[in-house]
Amino acid sequence: MVAGKVGSGKTTLLYSIMEETHKKSGSMHVCGSIAYVEQEPFIISGTVEDNITFGLEYNQSQFTKAIEAACLDKDLANLPSQQKTVIGERGVNVSGG
């Protein structure tokens, strides 16, 4: 996790780690994988499952962990087709407001 005041360079640091900025000198090495989550949420047209797996192969154990971590168990239980419920454009059919 990276935290700091507005304008302190958090985004630039993350972009640099992802090699999205120009390096003047030196070297950098990332060991392992990187996960980056934008501050701006978005929903793709597809199922709830599609919006959680982002096109990766479905893995029941990982999916369950993600649902539990996000406290979505009760929400999924209320949807007509649970994780296979299709979410419309911009999430209008699951929006509370």
Domain positions in the chain are 46-91
Query: What pTM was computed for the model?
Result: 0.56
> Is the per-residue pLDDT at 79 higher than 80?
yes
Q: What is the mean pLDDT of the chain?
A: 84
Q: What is the C-alpha separation between 2 and 40, in angstroms, rounded?
A: 16
What's the whole-number mean pLDDT along residues 36-65?
A: 86
pLDDT bin (cut points 50, 70, 90) of residue 62 is very high
Cα separations (Å) of 85 from 4, 43, 48, 75?
38, 13, 6, 11
Is the CB of residue 19 less than 8 Å from the CB of residue 27?
Answer: no
pLDDT at residue 97 greater than cutoff 50:
no
What is the C-alpha to C-alpha distance for residues 12 and 14, in angstroms, rounded to an integer?
Answer: 5
CB atoms within 10 A of CB 49: 17
Amino acid 57: pLDDT: 92
What mean pLDDT do residues 39-47 have? 80
